[in-house]
Structure 1
Amino acid sequence: MWTYLLLFLSISLFVGVFARRAYVLKVKKNEPPVQKKSLIDDEPLDIDENKKLSKQEKSDISELCEKADVKLKVGEEEEAIKLLVQALAVDPANTPAQQKLAMLYMQKQMYSAATALFKQLGELTNDAVHYSNLGLALYQQQEFEAAKEAYQRAVALDPSRPQRFISLAQVYRSLDQLSNAVVAANKAHDMDPENMDFLFLLADLYVDSKNYDESVSVLTKIIEADPGNTEAKTYLKKVKKAKSEEEKV
């Protein structure tokens, strides 16, 4: 369940790429979004990782988590959230409960709450997955600088997943840091050269940078690999036209 949810949310990072392709060559690129005030609570978290739990407390937490799982299976997410919050009130450092609650917050689009939990999980576990999820939660709030730091931490801890570099590239793009975006996208492409989505993103980034020759090269590569790709052919025509118009100026 959680894998599919994260996959769905991660796809949102690509929505701008494909929706934008239809008009990216017709309008002037917008200025980078104005950064909103951070929604993250920077106060120190009152968590005692070495807290000794009594047998009764451990039993209570186990029972609450089991009840939450039952509620999730029947689609009662709100009740599951309440139960997990109760479990964390007993043991704030319980990472399985934190993980489940954070994912529920993502599902409910409660991104600020998810951010706080994923940040806490990252600090407790130093796990790349949690920093990647933190980056996604921050991205959904347009907290691009903080999202960049989270994804940078994720790829530093575990550079084996190309999707994380693509997510980082999208954050760089949102910050108008196009050269960094190209580097990150190329890293992902090197790891998964057959992925057409990665190549389309590279083509977009080169267009953003007005590096039309590189965009043409990437789109040509897509067409050579997939001669029937009409989207790439249409986009290639638009890029060549944009290049021609740029040269006339």
Structure 2
Amino acid sequence: MKHIYSQEEIDKILLRFKNNNTFICAFLTACYTGMRTGEVFALTWDDIDLENKIIKINKTVYSKIKDDKGRWFLGTTKTNDSCREVFICDTLYKILSNYKEKQKLLKKKYGRKYKKYELEPIKNEYGKINEYKIVEGKYKNLKSVEMVFTKNNGLYVGTDIIKYPFKIIHNELRIKNCRFYDLRGSYATKILRNGAEIRDVADILGHSRIETTENYYISSSDETRKEANDMLEEIMKSDVIDEIMNY
């Protein structure tokens, strides 16, 4: 069941995890862009153009059976339309910039103990590279990569990094049945309710069909129904109605 985050819930989560820089930054990146979970945690710093305030979305992360090199892989996005660019708003720009600076300080703090990663190309049965394995930086012939969302020592654990925070969200904060992925639907619902064009929202989410956005990412809740009702009340304000109401 889809969960639409209220602003009160978002604020509660942010206050609870204000000292967890990685979770906060990942959470707000999803809040402000509507990216899929796998797309958020596949981000490398090469994908984030802070100067032009753009995020390039061109891959997703997923796990497979673990071996001595790890278990996280980068592959293509869900569809061709999923490859896209999204704009970084001023708030997210500050959040990402601050996070990047903190990460630089952590690299200095840990020095050689800071984890580094490379991408190992994986070929399919036809000899074509169709995915990359994220491996620790021990292989000089591989391309180095800077994953955005890591632990303080640089350790990359993919989407596992949100498991513990969500246990706290469910059990301590008592926000039940919510997932990280639900930030995507919350994003779509909120900006559509505030006047965004559905074609623009579909493009931002990486949907080729507007129907997908309409059917799966626009949700109704007590809060949104009340907002809609309040909106009509505002539209219909008039002196005559005020007079009748007070008659």
Q: For the superposition of Structure 1 and Structure 2, which TM-score range results when normalised by the shorter chain?
A: under 0.3
TM-score by length of 2: 0.25
Taking structure 1 as the reference length, the TM-score comes to 0.25
